[in-house]
Chains A and B, each alone.
Chain A
Amino acid sequence: MTASVSPAAPARSGLLARWWITWDRWWLAPLPLASLGVLRILAFGTLLWYLASEYAWLIRLETVDRWFYRPILIFQLLGVGPIPAGLATGLRPLLVACAILGLLGILARCCGALCGLAYLYAIGQVYSFTNVHHGDGLLGLVLLVLAFCPAGAALAMPVPWHRRPANQGSEPLYPGWPIRFVRVQIALVYFLAGYAKLALAGPVWLDGASLQHYLILRGQPVGYWLAAQPLLCAGLSALTFAWELSFPVVVLWPRLRWVYVPAAVVFHLVSQYVLGVGFMYFWPFLLAYVDVDPLLAWCRTAVRRLVKWRPASVS
C-alpha cells in the first residue's frame, strides 16, 4: 500500500512545483523600473481626473433617499451602509492631496493604498445606489497594486529623506508583475465581454439588432443615425465581437498590440460618442501595453541633443 503511494507523491509535488516556477517566471520577469513610474503617473493622473469630473456624484449621494441603496455583495459582507453625510466632502481634499503626492512619487505606496481603498469605497457606494458598471474597477485595483511595489522609485520628484540608489549605468529593473497585472486584466475584461455575448446571445448577436436597440436606448443624436444603418450596425457588431474575444492574443504575441491597442482606444472613443459610455477611467491603462524602454531612450537622446545644442547656439 505504502509502496504504491510514495512514488506518485513526489511526481505530483514536482508537477505543482514546476507550475509555480513557470508562473513566477512569467509574472516576475524583470521590466524597466521606469515602466512602473509610468503606471504610477497614469493611475494617479486618472484618479485626479475622476476627482475633478465625477466625485461630485458621490457627494450628491449623501442626500439621496436611502430607498435607492441596495449594497453590493462586498458591502453586505462588511456591513457597509449608505455613505454618511459629510464624509465625501471631507475626504475630497485628502484624496486630492494624496493623488498629487502619488503622482509626484512621494509616499507613493501609502498614497496608492489610501487612494485605492477610498476610490473603491466611493465607486462601491455609487454602484450600491445605482447599478454595477464595468469601467471603473481597474483604477482602484491598480492603485492597490501600487501599494505593493516600489511605485515611487522611478520618475519621481526627488525628496531629501529618500536616498536613491546610485546610478550604475544600466537601466534599473524590477519584477514586472504590476505592469503584467494591468495587461492581463485588460485582456480578460475584453475577452469576458466577448464571452458574455457568446453565452447570453450566441452568434445571433452579430446581426446588429442588439446594437441598434442599445443605441436608441442611450439616445445620443449620432446614435440615432447609426441605429438607422442596419448593415453598418451588423458590421460593427461582428468587428467588436471578434476583437473582444481575440484580445488576449496580445498578451501572448505582444507585437499585435499595435493593432489591438489603437483599436481599443478607437472603440472607447466611438462608444463615448454614440452610446455615451466612456470607460474614462479604464482606457488610459491601455498605455501599459507600450514598452517604455524605446520611448525613454528617445527622450534621453532628445534631451542630450538639446543640451549639446544650447551652448553652441549661445556661443
Chain B
Amino acid sequence: MDLIPPPAIALAGLAFGAALATPVAAIGRLRRRERPSRVAVSTGLFVFFALQLTAGLLLLDTTWPLTGYPMYAMHVPREAAVEVLLLEGTTRAGQRIDIPGGSLFADPLDLQARLLPALNDPTERPAAAERLFRDYNRAHADPATQLASLRGAIEHRSITADGQVVRVVEPVFAYPAGTE
C-alpha cells in the first residue's frame, strides 16, 4: 500500500464508493419505471468495472477474478540475483532424475513460490522436504518411478554488465537426511 500513489488511492476509494452506491441508484431507477433488465445490466456493468478499477489501482491480487495486474512490475537492480529452486531425486530403481518445477504445478515457478520461504527457514525445511517427497511419490503410482531420496538446491542466477549469465548452485536439503 505504501507504494501506491495517494491520488490512485483516492480514485480507488471513489470507485469503490460508487460501486457500493450504485445499487441504491438502481432502486431509484426502478421506481422511475425503467425496464428492470436494462437497469440490471447497466448497474451490473458499472459495479463490475468500478470494483475492477478499485482492485487494479490498489494492486490487489487476492480479490481474483477482479485483480490488479502487477506482474513483472517491480524494478530489479541489474546486478541482483534471482533464486531458482532445482530438484533432483533418485528413484527406487536407482535412476537419478531431474524433477522440473513444472512437474507439480502448471507454472514451474509456482512450486518455488510456495516452497522457497519454507526451505529458506531451517526450522521448516525438513517438514517441507518431506511433504514434497511424499507428494511426488503419491503422484507416481509405479513403485519403480517413486523416489528413494530427494535433493534440493537453489541456483542463484545473475547477469553481468557484459551480458553473461552467472549461475551459482547452493545445496539446501536432502531427504531423507544423509542421502546427499
State the A residues within 8 Å of B (CB): 13, 16, 20, 23-24, 27-28, 54, 57, 60, 63-65, 67-68, 72-74, 120, 123-124, 126-127, 129-134, 137, 140-141, 148, 175, 177, 181, 184-185, 188-189, 191-193, 195-197, 199-202, 204-205, 207, 209-214, 216-219, 224, 227-230, 276-277
Contact = CB atoms under 8 A, between A and B. Distances in A.
12 contacts: A131-B113, A131-B114, A133-B71, A140-B65, A148-B44, A192-B69, A193-B73, A200-B3, A200-B74, A210-B75, A213-B159, A229-B163
Nearest to A64: B135
B38 A132 contact: no
Contacts of B144: none
Contacts of A191: 56
B122 interface: no
A20 B164 CA distance: 58
Contacts of A68: 114
Given A20-B42, A217-B84, A72 B62 contact: yes
Contacts, number: 171
A134 B67 contact: yes
Given A124-B64, A181-B45, A184-B49, 6 more contacts: A126-B105, A130-B114, A196-B56, A196-B69, A219-B84, A228-B159
A73 B82 CA distance: 29
B178 interface: no
A277 to B, nearest CB: 8
B106 A65 contact: no
Contacts of B28: 13
Contact of A73 (B57, B63, B134, B158): B63
Contacts of B82: 213, 216-217
Contacts of A127: 64
